[in-house]
Amino acid sequence: MNLKRWIALFKPQVICLTAILLLLSAGFPAYAAEGGAAANDESPSGIRLSALEAVIDSYITTARKVNTAAVSVAVVNNGGTIFNKAYGLADVEHNVAADTDTVFEWGSVTKLLVWTSVMQLVEQGKLDLQTDIREYLPEGFFRKLKYDEPITLLNLMHHNAGWQDRYTDLFYMEKDDVPDLYEALRIYEPRQVYKPGAVVAYSNYGAALAGYIVELQSGMPFYTYVKEHIFESLGMNATSLHPTLQDNSIVAAARSRIQGYTAERELIKKNITHMGIYPAGGAIGTTADAAKFMAALVPPAGSISPLFQSDETLKQMLTPSLMYEGTDVPRIAHGFFVNEHAVRTLEHGGNTWAFSSNFVFDPVSGFGMIVMVNQQNEGQYCAGLVDRVFGTYTPAAYNGELPDSSEVEGTYIRARRVIHGFGKMIEYLNLAYIEPVNTRVSKWNGDPSRQFAPYAYTKINSSGIDYFIRDDQGKIIKLSNMYGDYLPLSGFAAQSIGISLIVLGLGTVMTLLAIIYESIGWIIRRFKRMRKPGSGLNKYYMWLNVAGLVYLLNNTLMFFRAMNTTAYTGVYIHFALNIVYILLAAGYIVLLLLKLRRSNSRRMTKVLYVLSGLSAVLFSALIIGWDLYF
């Protein structure tokens, strides 16, 4: 057999072997074969890169522009930025256009800087992902732990160390009020409410704590560490992590030229805030700089990321470290969330007081995208545009029998919430209601999902996967997606908000009825120059109803302040007033029991005495039931 025939015979094997060697040399993560890769000249959704700008331009339609402030988009491919463009207005009121020098707040995308820093120190042998973090922290650092089980850096990366959420002490309005990171963490420390590893409950505190551990092990402030080991290494000169931007005058000046808006493009007047636990969400910079960071996470084949000494560290960081419970499906890769588009991606979204962002890349093909918007809770670009470029998930056909979607029907609440303390009511206002549409389709608060495997659903109109986790008896105990777990509610707990609103409404009506009745009586007596006969309950009765109005105003103001960057100490006065109200209510009930039968007041007045006592009991029950006193 001649040489040409040998070559022809083994050509397919040679090509295949060469392709395998190239893939291995590129340093792809362990799950590369599952995710698939976009073609070098196409986005994951099949958009040719030469047409990408036109597609993104056309996405921003006239209808979308109505509610659009500024949008900045950067696209990375094969270790470099191939697209960077800004749209809309950075300052709507002054008609200031956004451009590629406009800075945006990263929000929680900042956490990727934390996990990268942690992995740099792991590479140097200064940190270990499996070690109890108390070995890295000052003795007695934690004051609110419930469980003795170790908390590791992996727990922090997986958001399953067990902490509840907080609604105060996250942002500061004045620069001078911002404490250093150690003090900010001490002020912000939430209660531990879940056993480590049991529940994924997204935690700003956990990420900031990891940043503080980097600070301790490196011997420099966390923002200095990131500046020296990430920003300067990558030439990110238009990005700052300092909570008051003191380390970068360029960024500070640029921040003054952009405003923040609601999702409906209404100006948020006070939109410059400072984050005390800033490693969790304090970065601010241009999308061009953010693209440099993304490009360093997906370096060209054969090259080593400038972020690490060895390509193995990058491979480890981008390899899944947490799977969905009971499956082999990746959920989190060392702090990077795994999502399913047309390809499997790693991503992280971000929201601040007035900005939104999304950071998405395919570690297999090296294609990535960054979207930043100066609007809070924005979705048409941070989610919709990303889905347009990355495509949505098409699961493989399932040939087995699927359970009826009615099995997952129910009410669910996020594990990430306040469980103890005055804020625990808030998440009950945002429950997840799952209802079946047919045997394979269910709706999550009206958003349809299709079952593609037993108890696994994919969104029909957007990206994202939900897994329903069952116990040994087949009972659903958890609903999981990439950002966190939801826990089922039933009985009184599922109806607690409705019941509370009824109680609040009844108490309010009875209080107002008593005040209106007494006010009319006072006017009549004043006009006729009459005196009301005393019964021993009159003045207490009126004071109690006035206190009821104060109660309503006090708690309304407390929640308004708590959701508007108020410090926890700033709501102490509201707790105190609620405690005083309970004492007044208890005292009135005692007087009512002692004096009502002996009172010579008219029947209608006695009825109002009783109704006022009942309203006081209802209001007090709300205070105690919803922890409105601490």
3-state secondary structure of 349: strand
Contact 388, 402 (CB under 8 A): no
pLDDT of residue 260: 98
- The answer to whether the Cα torsion of 330, 336, 339, 343 is positive or negative is negative
Closest CA to 431 of 499, 497, 491: 497
Contact 435, 443 (CB under 8 A): yes
Please name every residue paired with 339 in a beta bridge, in sequence order, or none if there are none. Answer: 345
pLDDT of residue 463: 92
Burial string for 350-378 (b: 16+ CB within 10 Å, else e) reads bbbbbbbbbbbbbbbbbbbbbbbbbbbeb
Closest CA to 281 of 346, 202, 386: 202
- Cβ contacts of 417 within 8 Å, gap of 6 or more: 164, 165, 201, 424, 426, 427
3-state secondary structure of 58: helix
- DSSP class of residue 227 equals I
Contact 509, 426 (CB under 8 A): no
Query: How far is the C-alpha of 122 from the C-alpha of 321, rounded, in Å?
Result: 15
Q: Give me the residue label for tokens 């082999």.
A: 328
Query: How far is the C-alpha of 520 from the C-alpha of 525, rounded, in Å?
Result: 9
Contact 228, 210 (CB under 8 A): no
- DSSP class of residue 289 equals H
- DSSP class of residue 220 equals S
- Angle at which helix 287-297 crosses helix 111-123, to 10 degrees, equals 40
Number of H helices, E strands in the chain: 19, 22
Contact 286, 374 (CB under 8 A): no
* Alpha-carbon dihedral 581, 586, 588, 590, rounded to 10 degrees: -170
How wide is the angle at C-alpha 28 spanned by C-alphas 27 and 34, nearest 5°? 160
pLDDT mean values, one per 10 residues, the chain (630 residues): 36 36 35 45 94 96 94 96 98 98 98 98 98 97 97 98 95 94 97 98 98 98 98 98 96 98 96 96 98 97 94 98 96 98 97 97 97 97 97 92 96 97 93 96 96 96 94 96 96 93 94 86 74 66 92 93 83 96 95 83 84 95 96
Task: State the pairing for strand pair 274-275/171-172.
Answer: antiparallel
| Amino acid in the structure at residue 84 | N
Query: How far is the C-alpha of 234 from the C-alpha of 186, rounded, in Å?
Result: 32
- The answer to whether the Cα torsion of 86, 88, 90, 95 is positive or negative is positive
Tokens of 555: 């708690």
Query: How far is the C-alpha of 394 from the C-alpha of 390, rounded, in Å?
Result: 12
Residue 410, sorted as left (phi over 0), alpha (psi -120 to 50) or beta, turns out to be: left
Closest CA to 390 of 347, 341, 344: 341
Query: How far is the C-alpha of 136 from the C-alpha of 134, rounded, in Å?
Result: 5
How wide is the angle at C-alpha 113 spanned by C-alphas 389 and 309, nearest 5°? 100
Please name every residue paired with 371 in a beta bridge, in sequence order, or none if there are none. Answer: 73, 358
pLDDT of residue 518: 78
- Cβ contacts of 39 within 8 Å, gap of 6 or more: 365
Q: How many CA atoms lie within 13 A of 307 on its CB side?
A: 32
Give burial (CB, 10 Å; 0-12/13-18/19+) of 199. Answer: buried
Q: Give me the residue label for tokens 């989190």.
A: 332
